Amino acid sequence: MSEPDIIIVGAGPGGLAAAIAASRTGLKVEVIEQRHAPGGAIYRQPVDGVEPVPQAAAAKRRWQSLSTRFAESGVPVRTHSVFLGIDGDGTFLIDDRDRGKLDRLQPRGVIIATGAVEKVYPRPGWHLAGVSTVGGLQVMMKETGRAPQGRILLAGGGPLLIAVAAQMARLGNPPVAIVEAGDPAKELAAGLQILISPGLFAEAFSYLRTVYRHGVPWLRGHRLVSIKREGQDLAAVIEDRKGSRRRILADRIGLHDGIRPNDFGMPPETTVNRAAPFVIHAGDCREALGAVAAEADGERAGRMMAGLLAHGRHEINELEELVARNRRSQAVLARIFAPVQSGSLLDGLTDETILCRCEGRTVGDLRQLCSRPDPLTGREIKHNGRFAMGACQGRFCAANTAALMARLRPDIPAPAPGDLIGRRWPARPVSIGTLVGVPPHAEGQDEVLR
Amino acid sequence: MRSSIPQTAIVIGSGIVGAAIAYFLTRRGIRVQLLEASAPAAEATGAADGAVSVASKRPGPMMVAAIAGVALYRELEHEGLFAGLFKSRSTFIVATSDEECAVLEAHADALEQAGVRIERLTGGALFEVLPALSPSTRLAVQVHGEGHAIGYQIVHRLLTAAGIVVDRHTPVNALLRDANGRALGVETHKGQIKADVVVIAAGTGSATLLGLADILIPRKGQLLVTERAPRLNAAFAGSIMSGRYLMSKGNRKPGAPTPARGLGLVIDPLVTGQFLIGGTREDHGDRRTNDIGAVSQILADAVALVPQLVHVRLLRSFAGNRTAVLDGLPLIGRVPGLDNAFVATGFEGDGICLGPIVGRTVAELVCGEAPSIDLVPFDPARFKSGMVAA
Ligand SMILES: Cc1cc2nc3c(=O)[nH]c(=O)nc-3n(C[C@H](O)[C@H](O)[C@H](O)COP(=O)(O)OP(=O)(O)OC[C@H]3O[C@@H](n4cnc5c(N)ncnc54)[C@H](O)[C@@H]3O)c2cc1C
Ligand SMILES: Cc1cc2nc3c(=O)[nH]c(=O)nc-3n(C[C@H](O)[C@H](O)[C@H](O)COP(=O)(O)OP(=O)(O)OC[C@H]3O[C@@H](n4cnc5c(N)ncnc54)[C@H](O)[C@@H]3O)c2cc1C
């Protein structure tokens, strides 16, 4: 089997569109995806034998069109294959989880389309069992076809809360409440449909209708400030815009404060170094602008990469315009969902609040490090505070740690989350057995030893 | 010897060596300005394993210095300065072939002669102490009384304790000196900085400052860290070092050709339950990347010694550059031709172990006190002809 010229990491709308575009020039293209099927965050496919969760009509249409065109392109997808990084010699590394094997390839071009991750601000108690991200709940629903059970509270900010609440309601278990930091209802009246695409508006409207029909309280201008375990319950403290507080009891809590590019540990873009593959970022992992933009941006990246390798022409103006339009829509959305309360959640945190869940490092630990006259760099904070050093390699804490550092030490240049994370491979933990060619045992021996 | 204590000093470089020098100078009441090209522990010190160990030292002055180095870690831990940062443990050097057994036996004799407490383990006793070792292990030499420390944590502790605010992102471009063999200070992009004494502890950066590019060699090392694996970690009575390490680690006969890539395996159980596994010795340029060839070879060697490692996941790879000296011995002492300038670098794979003791000794030298370790074998004057002030 001949090796691909271009490898695309991630089979979401960005990656698939990139693959279609790049393969048009006759270059050999391959997509690798860590999950069991293509689709990405938005078109996540159910696991075998499960009924898909009903999706908004526009999204369904987009997926049908994209997946059909992708199938026609004949580009192969390797599933259960995790991209580990590009090593110092330019070798592209894949953790083939089905076979417990490491694959080494030498592509000439790599398009990173690993999507977005959810932003979640730390709050006291956010690390407790039963607290997850809203997106995590959604993935579970999409893959299992079932709503999460028990009393579910959704909190944070942004349109995803409504979407997930509606999907839960349609699957028979609406959340007990939605705690929303912004006050979108006030802004909605302002003729927002002119500003965002009609498709998005229809989608949002249908979610809202479902949420209202099921009588789910939509607590706008509220924020969840802390969580405690009380016997069987999780008790969330909710604060309204005047500062008065109340408790809501739940079995599970989903948090979500927006999304940001999932470029953690990924190789940076480069189109100059001929000793290593060219790297282009595409879709939400370049700029989190949503599914429509991701598809356009993927196509842009695919054409660009094909142009770089085949020295052909690549026309990308109209795609850039489409991306720009979505950037404007996202800016409007961000304004609509802007938190009503002034002051960041980051400022009022107690010292005991966990920042890094893997290593149990707290806000107090960071405050102490930042209290010295010595202006520590991001890397020193990482080393001496053990932030971004755990098993998730900073996915959860690097952005929050960097943001909090910037607030604690406005006198020194703010670190980027990447300064804390670094760009060393593997981007994900990988079994040593895989790296040395000994496939891991089937039975749960790992558990005993770890 | 100088009898008067200087009032101010510039230290160039805030790796473990510069940080330790700055700490011990500050303790003597000297005002220290610590100039750093990037940030503390940004180079070798932040990419090292951290064996505080005599086990692998070549007999002679390095073994003697390392014994003093380990003793000082213990002392400073006892005093509280290094509290919680020094993990006491044995080193087990293991041999799996005839050749390794022979080298190891000879090395064990040398350690004993230097007064180091060791034990030879074979057969049932070996696997009782080290149940995780591969059954093909033939001999283990347990070196008692050693330990482990993480370079960047030691640096942070030293700087915090001395209350030093490091001048970050301030590379020194050159030394300033007068016509009478005295250093006046240094030249940086922020301008000239003056002091009574200048100490160079700039790792590989020392080469340019001293004009020793042919004598100081960057020697890359690749190192790996795993996830936490507390059960397996608990089965390690200490760090495991392959007997082959002795052959790879600067113990080549002078003049022997340098292999493109040497591999000396050490598996170090950390207090966190993780393992540090390393590393390579590569003499080609100053690249600091990790390549799958080296990483999988390190891991294959590690798994050959400790088969259960296949069930543990690799979390990160990293690489750093040791500063090696052509003749295998560090440079510690006065810069030839300059009365009040000193250098301490070239510690190759031993600077974490030696950093604190070297810091103390250089401070003693600067202040005209009797040195804690014999510096004669390390005198920079042996490369006088190449040096800046010659
Ligand atoms: C929780 C959540 C909810 C969202 N909800 C909406 C919504 O309702 N409407 C909307 O318009 N947008 C939504 N978005 C944004 C939307 O998902 C994206 O705009 C769109 O899916 C982006 O497409 P993409 O191809 O860039 O990334 P994705 O669709 O996220 O695809 C990235 C793919 O890369 C794979 N991947 C990641 N890392 C690796 C690796 N190391 N190796 C191999 N594969 C890897 C992932 O498994 C994934 O399949 C949401 C995003 C998130 C995170
Ligand atoms: C993979 C690996 C494993 C190792 N394992 C061990 C071990 O187990 N045990 C052990 O004892 N040792 C070990 N070592 C060796 C140890 O890390 C080094 O010997 C030690 O860190 C050297 O410290 P240093 O302060 O001399 O140099 P560095 O830590 O390199 O510090 C030099 C500093 O000077 C700065 N600098 C450079 N030029 C200038 C300039 N012009 N102006 C201002 N600042 C400048 C640099 O930015 C740097 O911060 C290992 C090293 C490596 C790479």
* pLDDT, tens only, B182-208: 999 999 999 999 999 999 999 999 999
Please report the pLDDT score of residue A205 as a whole number: 81
State residue A65's pLDDT score. Answer: 97
Gap from B151 CA to chain A (nearest CA, Å): 10
Q: Which of A379, A384, A449 sits opposite B308 (nearest CB)?
A: A449
Q: Quick one: tokens of A271? A: 């189109």
Ligand 2 centroid – CA B217 distance (Å): 12
pLDDT of residue A275: 77
- Look up residue A269 and give its DSSP letter: P
pLDDT at A449: 40
Contacts with B309 from chain A: Cβ below 8 Å: 432
What pLDDT is stored for residue B167 in this prediction? 96
Q: Which two tokens stand for residue A385?
A: 């505070």
Give this complex's ipTM: 0.91
Q: Does A438 touch chain B (CB under 8 A)?
A: yes
Asked if B41 and A435 come within 8 Å (Cβ–Cβ), the reply is no
Is residue B309 less than 8 Å (CB to CB) from chain A? yes
Who among A93, A104, A446 is closest to B311 (CB)? A446
Q: Which of A365, A375, A363, A357 is nearest to A403 (CA)?
A: A363
Taken as a whole, chain A contains a residue count of 450
User: What's the rounded Cα separation, in Å, for the pair B101 and B140?
Assistant: 9
B219-276 pLDDT, tens digit per residue, is 999 999 999 999 999 999 999 999 886 765 544 444 555 555 677 899 999 999 999 9
pLDDT exceeds 70 at position B291: yes
- B106-122 tens-digit pLDDT: 999 999 998 999 999 99
For atom 20 of ligand 2, which residue has the closest CA?
B351
Res B143: pLDDT = 96
Q: Beta B183-188 vs A77-78: how paired, if at all?
A: unpaired
What are the tokens at B189?
């992009």
pLDDT at A198: 65
Residue pair A168/A147 in contact by the 8 Å Cβ criterion: yes
Residue B143 has φ and ψ, to the nearest 5°, of -100, 115
Show contacts of A349-352: CB within 8 Å, 24+ apart. A349/A122, A349/A123, A349/A124, A350/A124, A352/A124
For residue B219, report the distance from its CA to the centre of ligand 2, in Å. Answer: 11
Residue A174 is predicted with a pLDDT of 97
Q: Which residues of A touch B228 (CB under 8 A)?
A: 391, 450
B159 in A contact zone (CB under 8 Å) = yes
A62: Cα within 13 Å, side-chain hemisphere: 23
State the Cα–Cα distance between residues A157 and A220, nearest whole angstrom: 9
Confirm or reject contact between A106 and chain B (CB < 8 A). Answer: no
CA count, 13 A, side-chain hemisphere, B386? 14
Check pLDDT > 90 for residue B311.
yes
Does residue B358 have its Cβ closer than 6 Å to ligand 2?
Answer: no
Distance CA A268, CA A423 (A): 8
B66: helix, strand or coil: helix
* pLDDT by residue, tens only, chain A of 450 residues: 579 999 999 999 999 999 999 999 899 999 999 999 999 988 877 777 777 777 778 888 999 999 999 999 999 999 999 999 999 999 999 999 999 999 999 999 999 999 999 999 999 999 999 999 999 999 889 888 899 999 999 999 998 999 999 999 999 999 999 999 999 877 665 545 545 566 667 777 888 899 999 999 999 999 999 999 999 999 999 999 999 999 999 999 999 999 999 998 899 999 886 778 999 999 999 999 989 999 999 999 999 999 999 866 677 888 888 889 888 888 888 888 888 888 788 888 999 999 998 889 999 999 999 998 888 888 899 999 989 888 888 888 899 999 999 999 998 888 888 888 887 899 999 999 999 998 655 444 444 343
Q: Is the CB of A129 inside 8 Å of chain B's CB atoms?
A: no
Question: Is the Cα dihedral A365, A367, A371, A376 positive or negative?
Answer: positive
Q: Which of B:273-292 have CB within 8 Å of A?
A: 287, 289-292
Q: Which atom of ligand 1 is nearest to the CA of A116?
A: 53
For residue A235, give every residue at least 6 positions away whose Cβ sits within 8 Å of its Cβ, in sequence order, or none.
Answer: A227, A228, A229, A247, A248, A249
Q: How far off is chain B from A171, nearest CA to CA, in Å?
A: 38
- Omega of the bond leading into A426 within 30 degrees of 0 (cis): yes
pTM strictly above 0.90: yes
